[in-house]
Amino acid sequence: MSQPWPDLISDQRLPRGPIRWRRALPLLVALAACVAVAAPMLAPAPVVPLLPLLCVMVWSVYQPRLMPPWAALLVGVASDLAMATPLGINATLMPLLALLLGAGGIWAGPRPFALDWLLAGLVIAVYQALAVGLAGLIGPPRDPGLLVAQTLLSWAILPAVARLAAWTQRIIGIQ
């Protein structure tokens, strides 16, 4: 498999056979992250990092075929159910994010991770602002200021999530 990535057909990129089931690993890890954010912790403000969002972001950028928008929809629905937010907020924003980040391989090509990390902070902040706006359309208005700590924490642990994604990718066996 010495051809460049864009010249490969889909079957070459994701070989068939016994490792096919491993393609579900990114989705399963993201769904497990949805359970993790529902930990029994009654914090005065949202402080648990948005792990499902980070999973969707990382996979959409680095391996979009393993986190297509329909998979991001499942993660979004699970996030809404786990976090008790009105159903549809994350279920709309996550597939939209996967679609925008994964479309046309715009992130293909080598670049420093620091740049990705910087841009990810902006994406998380915009995502949180949109989520608060949508929540305000459905229920009472919420204070977006309460999300600052969560946004910063989510941004801070992004490298760890990216490392986890790289490790998962090695398990899957895709170059």
Partner 1 sequence: MKHRPAGAWSSAQAMAWPTKRKRSTGSRREARGQLLGVVASVAAVAIGLLLLSLSRFAPERLSGLRTGALELSAPIWGAARGPARAIMASAADIGDYWDAVGHARRLETELAAAQRESARAALFEAENRRLKHLLRFAEADRRRVAVARVAGGSGASLVETAIVSAGAAAGVRPGQPVTTDAGLLGRVTEVAAHASRVLLVSDNESRVPVRVLRTGAPAVLAGVGGGMAELRFVGAGPDAAPRAGDLIVTSGEGGLFAPDIPVARVTSITGETAHARPLARADTLGFAVIEAAWMPTTAPRDVAVTGVPPPHPVRMAAMIDP
Site of interaction with partner 1 (CB under 8 A): 9-11, 35, 37-50, 68-70, 72-73, 76-78, 80-89, 91-96, 98-99, 132, 134-135, 137-143, 146-147, 150
Nearer to partner 1, 92 or 121 (CB): 92
Checking phi first, is residue 94 left (phi over 0); if not, alpha (psi -120 to 50) or beta?
Answer: alpha
Least distance in angstroms from the C-beta of 112 to partner 1: 29
Least distance in angstroms from the C-beta of 98 to partner 1: 8
Least distance in angstroms from the C-beta of 114 to partner 1: 26
Least distance in angstroms from the C-beta of 132 to partner 1: 7
Asked whether 62 and 85 are in contact (CB, 8 A), the reply is no
What distance in Å separates the CA atoms of residue 20 and residue 129, rounded to the nearest whole number? 37
Least distance in angstroms from the C-beta of 140 to partner 1: 4
Nearer to partner 1, 52 or 168 (CB): 52
Nearer to partner 1, 3 or 112 (CB): 3
Nearer to partner 1, 88 or 118 (CB): 88
Nearer to partner 1, 52 or 116 (CB): 52
Task: Give the tokens for residue 24.
Answer: 């579900």
Nearer to partner 1, 68 or 121 (CB): 68
Least distance in angstroms from the C-beta of 146 to partner 1: 5
